[in-house]
Structure 1
């Protein structure tokens, strides 16, 4: 038998022809099954035997039978082709089924844990055959290289290889408890933040835009006695009077209403931050992924508007 690497490139159609001949017991019936001619089937078998360097079927004008090598080859190829056909069927129907897995990476805090989390809960209840992995890792995910299907990301979109749908803008404010402001004094300008305990996340340079056009944009390096990348922790610390926090208004709107927190600045604002839903440019997007994208685009944007 020829054992060189050429045998690995044997035409799959020639193997299908051989299996069909062996199953049908005749060239004519096999040709009819594959919608081709008897002569073409004969050529395919001859090509396969030449490539393998072994006779698979002994044929005469009246009959045919498998050789011992042909019987062994037939058994293995028949099983392999069944697996291939099953894999093709599974792959081609997977995109149409509302089942399977979706991996989502999302910003944490109130955006991910509350808004997105609640939407995912509802989606799972409506689609019990879809498994969703929701990840809140803080590292900036490369969607092209990672295993994630969807990423929800705050900030400017830079990667043009992805589809980025803006879900809305997140309003950011600067807040402190009345007890802290009474103890440490009220602020009128961002530069005064240098003299205060600021509760920070990953960003320690706070940028402010004046509502008065005669003023210039200000960026201040801040510090304090607590740094944490979880907004809920910073929010709770501000409530206890431990310092000044800068958070999405969504965290603080109820606390402002009931007087537990106050807005620190009236004449200085923080730029709004866009929230994007990112996914691959894929013409063959599975139905389950399309459904989740549409669901999130309907559920999340209305909730980004703070009601202070």
Structure 2
């Protein structure tokens, strides 16, 4: 019945609806505004409905236009994925992978080494590794993969857990000798503390996780950089709260020691996230496989 429907007109309509502007849509499609207007008119005449109400100053989708846009956008996305899947041969590992990752030790040491080794194995793959700290949207920010710490909220993504990161409270032996070792987290209020972005330190007893306490920290030194916080603690300037893997060598050689024996901080999960996609390019599939198989080989845990 609709074999004469012009898919180019449908594509033009979806871009106009997406951009909310004929000018922006014309820029994206590389054509003139008048050509787009002609395509939209042809499509509306074919369907016998008005899809976009427009004046010289504004435009909006009609109810029928909104319905048509949502269905057509999904259909066009599926078509584009099918074409990409066909073109991207499963054995032809090439193209770009855009990755967002937490910075600090995890990004600079673990993920950096993992990426370098992967690129050595697959020289036709290019990787853009981004360490921006804000939480990104994989679709809007055009990332393929994200390494993210903490509990997840977006259930529309595929989440592969890489590890649970142990958090700990540390100080240098010189600080402990000078100021003493607190026995309860509440005693941290009378100590010099080194803080980053977290001012509420939550603890539970090792033997009974239901016994919890929270301490609001007013630190003597503030810096949102894990390496700097660690360096300050080594210098004896205060007590610091950091992921244990940030301090493996310092714990092994005694430059830092654990402050509490009976109290601990909950672990922080680390995930590899990506969008659900049945037509996932081969380069992404292989990188995900490589990460899941090898990630822990790059993690240096304390030998204590």
Same fold, judged at TM 0.5 (above): yes
Q: Which has the larger radius of gyration?
A: 1
Give the conservation status (yes or no) of the 8 Å contact 2:100–2:145.
yes
State how far apart, in whole Å, the 1-side matches of 2:190 and 2:242 are.
19
Which TM-score applies when normalising by structure 2? Answer: 0.69
Match of 1:177 among 165, 172, 177: 172
- Residue matched to 1:136: 131
The offset of 1:11, in angstroms, is: 7.4
Go from structure 1 to structure 2 and tell me whether the alpha carbon gap of 1:105 and 1:197 turns closer, same or farther (over 3 Å shift).
same
Counterpart mapping for 1:179-194 below 5 A: 179-194=174-189
State how far apart, in whole Å, the 2-side matches of 1:239 and 1:305 are.
18
State how far apart, in whole Å, the 2-side matches of 1:106 and 1:234 are.
20
State how far apart, in whole Å, the 2-side matches of 1:199 and 1:294 are.
38
- Residue matched to 1:298: 293
The offset of 1:90, in angstroms, is: 7.2
State how far apart, in whole Å, the 2-side matches of 1:90 and 1:190 are.
55
SS in structure 1 of the partner of residue 153 of structure 2: coil
The offset of 1:95, in angstroms, is: 5.6
Go from structure 1 to structure 2 and tell me whether the alpha carbon gap of 1:100 and 1:263 turns closer, same or farther (over 3 Å shift).
same
Counterpart mapping for 1:117-132 below 5 A: 117-132=112-127
Q: Does 2:267 align with 1:272?
A: yes
- Residue matched to 2:140: 145
Go from structure 1 to structure 2 and tell me whether the alpha carbon gap of 1:208 and 1:92 turns closer, same or farther (over 3 Å shift).
same
Q: Does 2:88 align with 1:108?
A: no
- Residue matched to 1:213: 208
The offset of 1:307, in angstroms, is: 3.2
Range moving further from structure 2, 262-271 or 226-235:
226-235
Q: Does 2:232 align with 1:246?
A: no
The offset of 1:204, in angstroms, is: 0.9
State how far apart, in whole Å, the 2-side matches of 1:101 and 1:186 are.
51
The offset of 1:225, in angstroms, is: 2.8
Go from structure 1 to structure 2 and tell me whether the alpha carbon gap of 1:126 and 1:144 turns closer, same or farther (over 3 Å shift).
same
Give the conservation status (yes or no) of the 8 Å contact 2:169–2:242.
yes
The offset of 1:214, in angstroms, is: 9.1
- Residue matched to 1:59: none
Deviations along 1:89-140, one digit per CA (max 9) or x if unpaired, are 7773236331110111111111111011100011111111111011111101
State how far apart, in whole Å, the 1-side matches of 2:301 and 2:248 are.
10
Match of 2:192 among 191, 194, 197: 197
- Residue matched to 2:86: 92
Deviations along 1:252-299, one digit per CA (max 9) or x if unpaired, are 222122211110000001111111100000000000011111111122
The unaligned stretches of length 5 or more in structure 2 are 9-45, 47-81
Go from structure 1 to structure 2 and tell me whether the alpha carbon gap of 1:104 and 1:214 turns closer, same or farther (over 3 Å shift).
closer
State how far apart, in whole Å, the 2-side matches of 1:239 and 1:270 are.
21
Which TM-score applies when normalising by structure 1? Answer: 0.68
- Residue matched to 2:303: 307
State how far apart, in whole Å, the 2-side matches of 1:90 and 1:159 are.
26
Give the conservation status (yes or no) of the 8 Å contact 1:108–1:138.
yes
Q: Does 2:244 align with 1:226?
A: no
The offset of 1:235, in angstroms, is: 1.0
Go from structure 1 to structure 2 and tell me whether the alpha carbon gap of 1:154 and 1:135 turns closer, same or farther (over 3 Å shift).
same
Q: RMSD of the alignment, in Å? A: 2.4
State how far apart, in whole Å, the 1-side matches of 2:209 and 2:130 are.
44
